[in-house]
Every structure is written in structure tokens, then in C-alpha cells.
A and B are shown apart, each in its own frame.
Chain A
């Protein structure tokens, strides 16, 4: 009696998998017609999000962010540099996004992935457009010394919506950033003061203690897929490869639109779709803001 049931269950499971692999678009559209996705999410809901600050002890600031399976690790290193002539009172941010071969079957060792420079540029534009950081805060001595912050962002698992996770990770690591103490030595050069070194403590520190950056309005993003009349929030890699029209909306905590990024795609975005994406993003900004606040308050307790 038991045997026929077992074989029947197995065969029906195999049929579903075969259908998914052979006809992926129809498989997804069958789910969309029921207002659900293959992983059980409603169309407008993002995946589970977690933020872990301080993942890299040797870095001045770091954050590990997971959105569903997508995993992004960001580390910030601070270095003293000479500011440029155009802006002698400002420091600098250098943002680099890396996709090592471990993150995806598509990425090969050697040549950087095609998506890396695109996401790097998007992140740089977003952070500079939002004016989240006052670069004058990174200045030490006008015209002579200023901080250079290197943000290295690594994608450990690329399962869709990379830009969203990368932006959240960069923002979280900047909120965790501790600027080290520096002092002017006898030659007039800026040197780092380690806390253990008692002798160097005699020199006057230029900035008096480790301190945090002041973040103004913080940008958060949400990527949506447009497919026929549906809008899917926070797509996975499989969904991204099957349905080709992506829209990324970035809003900051004060409600300003930082970026609306739609690089082509077969589906045209009309005004109502844009407004729906903006509404979904506003909701997402509130969620992510509370996640980030929780992570920061948890760090302060430790």
C-alpha cells in the first residue's frame, strides 16, 4: 500500500522541477497570477534582512549585510592624505565593489565581473548625491592633511538585488566607522597615535578622541522588477535573469529622491508604475532605518 504513494509523490515533485527548469517564464507567471512568488513571498515584500556591525576587527568600520541569501561585506580603512587643490578642506571617499568568483557561478577568476564597475559607479553617485557625509568633517589640517576613506565592498553571495544590499552595507559600515586619533609630530607631519603608546600621548592630538561621522539623511534603495502589469520587489537572481526590466529607486530618510535607475528593459514604465515603486520604497526605507538603528544601539550596549 505504501509504495505507490511514495513513487507518486516523487514523480510529481520531479515534474514540478522539470517544469521550472524547462519553462521558467511560464512557471513564474503561474505564480504571479496567484499574486505569489515561488519562494512564498507576496509580490511587494522584501526578503529577510539582517545587519551585523563590526564584522572585521582590523578595519575602522565594517558591516555584514544579508538580504535573503544575498550577502555583502563592507570594510572601511582610513588613511591620511594630502587634499587636492580644488577642495583643500575636504576628505575623500573611494568606493570599490568586488565580485569574487565565490559569489556566483557566472563570475570567473581573473577579469572583474561586468556588474562590478557598474555597481561601484552607482554607489559612488548615490552616496555623493545624497550628501549623507559632509566631507569637510574628514579634514584635519586645511590644505595639508585630510582623511581618505577606502570602502571595499565584497559580494559573498550574489542572489539578486546586489545594489540594495551593497548600499545598505556601505551605509551601515559608515555609521559604525570610528575615526582614529592622530597627532602632529615635530616635523609637522600627521601620525597615527596608538592608544597603547604612552610616549606619543604627550603630543597634542589633532582630533581629541576616536569619533563617529555625522550622517545626515541616509539613502536606502529598493529594486523592483516590472513584468506585464506586475511589480515584484526585491528580486532573487533567478527572477532577475528571467524577467529583464529592473527599476531601482533610492530615497533618503527625509523623503528626497536620490536615484531612479531604470537601464532599459522590454517593459515601459508609466507614471503609475513609478509611483507604485516609490511607495514600496518609502515603506522599505522605514523598515531599513529601524533595522539600522537597532544594530547601532546593540553596538553601543556592547
Chain B
């Protein structure tokens, strides 16, 4: 049942995560996020005054610019921009700074599979670094399904080409709160189990999709822990600098 992967990982194992914040000086917030060899650099500018003509000036608007490693922007990049924009809009509190625009620039440094989840994670870390008000963070994960029905997390580029189907999933991060447990539930499921974004490629059965959901939720809990530790480390070191 267990298939060995070329890089030695178990099916549920993520590639090593590396996250650095405050890399760029001119941007208000920036973050570099790497999962294995896939690496994305995100920069946030804003909130700046004014909104585009097609946007709603009563709310803060978010503009996403996706820069591929090479070449011009095509349909793939336009779709990624739209997905990122919608995802970030749903985690930002947009009523605090009306009639402003926040720009998020995403630069792909290297693509070794699971690029979109890596970009979403980088953009969220950059928004935190910029001090943009957020409801919660988002954690993104890629699950893939083999021809034999096994589910593999965080595939590399080589693995992606052999897969029957794969799914990019984005969940809200788990919440640590002093409030009683019941307040974090939405109906019968905890809030972290809700899907913010789901993008699928390839054909699969509905049951396979639901299995991928379960695996994705378990992995997103680990990702949430990583993000929280990373931000705590950063704020601790900054406090020691100030002191």
C-alpha cells in the first residue's frame, strides 16, 4: 500500500518549509516561502490611497500581480492572480481602510511543484509582515491522487506529471484562543475545517476528493503550527532588539 517516493518521503510528509520575513526594504511587508525547491517571494505595498475604477471604494481593495520566473504573463498567471486576489480578500478585514488599495506582488523564484499553495502561504506571511488587518491566516496545501488511488501530499514537479489528479486546498489556520471551545465551531465542524479555496486538476471520484480533504486538513494543522512559531520567533527577536 505505501508507495515509496523518489525523494524518500512518506505519502503524508511535507517537504521542508522555510519562511523568512522582512527581506525587502522598500516594501511594507515581504516574505520568502520555500517548500523544498519551490520558492516564492511576496511583497506587500499599502494601504495606498485610492481605488481602481472597477473596484468598490467603500472597501479596501487588493491587487495581485503574479510574476513568473521567465516569460510573459499568460492565462495561467491571470488565473493564479484571480485565485490569490479572491483568497486574500476573504481573509482581510476590508472595512477598516476604505478607498485604499493594497498591492501584493508575487515573484516565482523556482517552481518544483505545488506552486500555488506556496504562493498563497508566502502572500499571507507578507501581509502579516506589512501589518494588514486580517481575520485569520490561510494555509495552503496540495494533495495529489495516484492512478492506484493513493493520496500524496505536497508533490514535486516530477510527481505531479505522473499523478492522475491533484487538488490545491486553502484552509483558515487553527485558532488558539482563551475562549471556550464552542465559540470556534461553525455548526458541527471546527472553523479550520472549512474550505476557503479549492482548485482541482484531473479527474477523480467524489470519494477521493473527500479523502484528500481529510489529509489536507491534517497537514494544514501542521502548517498552522509552523506559521505560528515563525511569527512568534520574529516578534520575540524584534522585542529584544527594541529593548
Contacts and interface: CB of A to CB of B under 8 A. Distances in A.
Contacts of A120: 75
B200 A271 contact: no
A130 B203 contact: yes
Contacts of B204: 256-257
Contacts of A125: 201
Contact of B79 (A117, A247, A258): A117
B239 interface: no
Interface in B83-133: 83, 85-90
Given A257-B209, A263-B87, A268 B195 contact: yes
Nearest to B207: A257
Residue of B85, B189, B197, B203 with highest tally of chain A CB at under 10 A: B203
B60 to A, nearest CB: 14
B195 A114 contact: no
Contacts of A130: 203
A129 B199 CA distance: 13
Contact of A117 (B75, B199, B206): B75
A214 to B, nearest CB: 18
Interface in A243-267: 247, 251-252, 255-266
Contacts of B172: 268
B198 interface: yes
B213 interface: yes
A125 B206 CA distance: 18
B182 interface: no
A257 B199 CA distance: 12
A127 B197 CA distance: 21
Interface string A95-122: 0000000000010000000100110111
Contact of B205 (A122, A247, A256): A256
A274 B82 contact: no
A88 to B, nearest CB: 19
Interface in B156-215: 165, 167, 170, 172, 186-187, 189, 191, 193-206, 208-210, 213
Given A129-B202, A129-B203, A256-B205, A264 B195 contact: no
A265 B85 CA distance: 10
A135 interface: no
A257 B200 contact: yes
Looking at chain A, what size class is its interface with the partner chain? 20 to 34
A252 B200 CA distance: 14
A259 B79 CA distance: 15
Please indicate which of the listed interface residues B86, B88, B195, B204 has the most CB atoms of chain A within 10 Å of its own CB.
B195
Contacts of A262: 195-199
Contact of B194 (A124, A255, A269): A269
Contact of B196 (A252, A261, A264): A264
Nearest to A250: B200
B206 to A, nearest CB: 5
Contacts of A269: 194-195, 198
A261 B198 CA distance: 5
A242 to B, nearest CB: 12
A20 interface: no
A266 B206 contact: no
B7 to A, nearest CB: 25
Contacts of A266: 90
A270 to B, nearest CB: 5
Interface of A: 106, 114, 117-118, 120-122, 124-125, 129-131, 247, 251-252, 255-266, 268-271, 274-275, 278
Shortest Cβ-Cβ A-B pairs, 9 listed: A268-B194, A264-B86, A264-B87, A117-B78, A117-B75, A269-B195, A262-B198, A121-B75, A263-B86
30 contacts: A114-B78, A114-B82, A117-B74, A117-B79, A121-B75, A121-B76, A125-B201, A252-B203, A255-B206, A256-B205, A258-B200, A258-B203, A259-B200, A260-B200, A260-B209, A262-B196, A262-B198, A263-B83, A263-B86, A263-B199, A264-B170, A264-B196, A264-B197, A268-B186, A270-B194, A270-B195, A271-B210, A274-B209, A274-B210, A278-B206
